[in-house]
Amino acid sequence: MRIAVIGAGIIGLATADELVGRGHEVTVFDPEPANGSSLAAAGMLAHAAEMSWGQDALAPLMRASAEKYPEFVDRLSAKSARSLGHRADGTLSVGVDAADREALVALSRLQREQGLSVDQLTGTAARDFEAGLGPAVTSAVFTPDDHQIDPRLVTAALLEVLGDRVRLESVDAVTRTGERVTGIRLASGVQIDADAVVAAAGLGTAAIDGIPALPLRPVWGDILRLRVPPALRPLLTRTVRAQVRGRSAYLVPRGDGTVVVGASVREGGVAGVHAGSVLALLRDAETVVPGIGECEIVEMLARPRPASADAVPLLGLVEEGLLVSTGFDRHGVLLAPLAAEVGADLVEGRPVDERLRSAVDPQRFADAAASRARDNADWTPPAVVDPVGAVSKGSS
């Protein structure tokens, strides 16, 4: 098949690479490859530490994709001859006050119920484990099965293996012949014919003409990269997630002597780096790892995460010839191998597990709204007896 992929973030690139591997003729269109949400990502592959309540649809996807990661990494690093910064050293989640400790204990109960490996530690045991932690840390939980990767190395490797299949052009519209999507129109006005179109343009997906309405919203994240002075290295040996008096932050050490400190989660505010978020991140990071105060700030960045209305991806065929793959919110790096495989299966018309397909179906909101409307169509408000004895209809 000739396949046009819109968007060269981690989702579009991983899907394109999967489709190339299956023998298709693929072209990816993006004016600024790997410069969206994927540029900001910390790269935690933390299906265990990032588990939380109300993730019935999301948690199985996170777990399934985490299982695919080692093979995804092996394949991509072999093809590109690049290291991707993949590390399998787990996540240490730490707390400061009593409420943080209670939150960690409650979460570790949930993680155990879900069959995940969890070790509960005291603050002292955590400091034996991770010497960079400061005295403010009073409780900790270790989830050994979490991994991490450097998303910038992943997108660079994918761009390299895709080579001149990636074109630096913006897409204005998907185009149709009769009832099916048969191509795209570039911003330059050029028409490109395709047997299938994959719309993986992150938040930009909803702005492309001809794509059905999608419930996408920007969830901004501010994030910092710090260089640790040689005398303090290694400041950390694994990812640390911190609960600091109810606020969350994380610190992700990289092999090059830098530490990523993130990330805010905000639905509004400035469309650039937010001072208050940076202040809170640095304060909280220094509370748990005092050496942070000695580091050099090498980058501050903010990007909007493409999030759906329920924070579960929007991945599926929305009409013949058009696959949507966006809405990966806070987990797009973790979910990339699964998104690539499922996206390619759907494009090829292969069967996909029905529970998975319906969990990520981009049309689930429209279907749910239609079924609510049907259920309510015959509903009439109950009769209310008013104080003077006359019978009236409820009106509120």
Ligand X SMILES: Cc1cc2nc3c(=O)[nH]c(=O)nc-3n(C[C@H](O)[C@H](O)[C@H](O)COP(=O)(O)OP(=O)(O)OC[C@H]3O[C@@H](n4cnc5c(N)ncnc54)[C@H](O)[C@@H]3O)c2cc1C
Q: Following DSSP, what letter does each residue of 360-373 receive, concatenated?
A: H-TTHHHHHHHHHH
* Structure-token pair, residue 390: 């006359």
Nearer to ligand X, 85 or 202 (CB): 202
| Binding residue (CB under 6 A) for ligand X from 136, 192, 208, 324 | 208
Least distance in Å: CB of 393 to ligand X? Answer: 49
Q: Compute how many residues bind ligand X; rule: CB under 6 A.
A: 42
Please tell me whether residue 296 binds ligand X under the rule CB under 6 A.
no
Q: Let me know: does 308 contact 215? Beta carbons within 8 Å.
A: yes
Q: How far is the CB of 109 from ligand X (least distance, A)?
A: 24
Q: Which stretch binds ligand X (CB under 6 A): 6-14, 112-120, 358-366, 385-393?
A: 6-14
Which residue in the set 334, 338, 342, 359 belongs to the binding site for ligand X (CB under 6 A)?
334
**CA 23 vs CA 18, 29, 166, 219: distances in Å:** 9, 19, 16, 36
Query: What are the φ/ψ torsions at residue 169 (nearest 5 degrees)?
Result: -135, 145
Torsions phi, psi of 25, nearest 5?
Answer: -95, 105
Between 101 and 331, name the residue whose CB sits nearer to ligand X: 331
Closest C-alpha to 241, from 276, 279, 293, 285: 285
CB of 264 to ligand X, least distance (A): 8
Nearest CA to 142 among 52, 62, 49? 49
Which C-beta is closer to ligand X: that of 270 or that of 368?
270
For ligand X, the closer CB: 15 or 123: 15
HSE toward the beta carbon, residue 311, CA cutoff 13 A? 14
Beta bridge partners of 3: 26, 196
Q: Which CB sits closer to ligand X, 189 or 351? A: 189
202 lines the binding site for ligand X (CB under 6 A): yes
H helix or E strand, kind and range, residue 323: strand 322-326
Cα(215)–Cα(210) distance, rounded to whole angstroms?
15
Interface stretch with ligand X, choices 81-89, 195-203, 315-323, 364-372 (CB under 6 A): 195-203
Backbone angles phi, psi at 143, to 5 degrees: -115, 100
DSSP string, 192-213: EE-SEEEE--GGGGGGSBTSPP
**Residue closer to ligand X (CB basis): 101 or 147:** 147
Which one, 31 or 134, has the nearer CB to ligand X? 31
Least distance from ligand X to the Cβ atom of residue 374, Å: 33
Which is nearer to ligand X, 170 or 358 (by Cβ)?
Answer: 170
Q: Which of 3, 4, 5, 11 binds ligand X (CB under 6 A)?
A: 11
Residue 306 binding ligand X, by CB under 6 A: yes
Tell me the three state secondary structure of residue 275: helix
CA 324-327-331 angle, 5° bins: 125
Binding of ligand X by 243 (CB under 6 A): no
Distance CA 68, CA 76 (A): 12
Beta-bridge partner residues of 227: 258, 296
Q: Any residues with CB less than 8 A from the CB of 222 and at least 6 apart, and which?
A: 262, 263, 264, 266, 273, 274, 277, 278, 281, 300, 301, 302
Return the residue of 3, 5, 44, 198 that touches ligand X, per CB under 6 A.
44
- Which of residues 3, 4, 26, 42 is near ligand X by CB under 6 A? 42
Q: Which of 138, 170, 237, 363 binds ligand X (CB under 6 A)?
A: 170
Q: Is 41 or 121 the residue whose CB approaches ligand X more closely?
A: 41
Among the listed residues 17, 20, 29, 228, the single contact to ligand X using CB under 6 A: 29
Residue among 7 and 321 whose Cβ is closer to ligand X: 7
CB of 52 to ligand X, least distance (A): 14
| From 108, 295, 326, 337, residue interacting with ligand X (rule: CB under 6 A) | 326
Task: Report how far residue 36's alpha carbon sits from residue 200's, in angstroms, rounded to the nearest whole number.
Answer: 12
158 binding ligand X? (CB under 6 A): no
Residues that bind ligand X in the complex, under the rule CB under 6 A: 6-12, 29-30, 32-33, 35-38, 40-44, 170-171, 200-202, 204, 208, 221, 223, 262-263, 303, 305-306, 326, 328-334
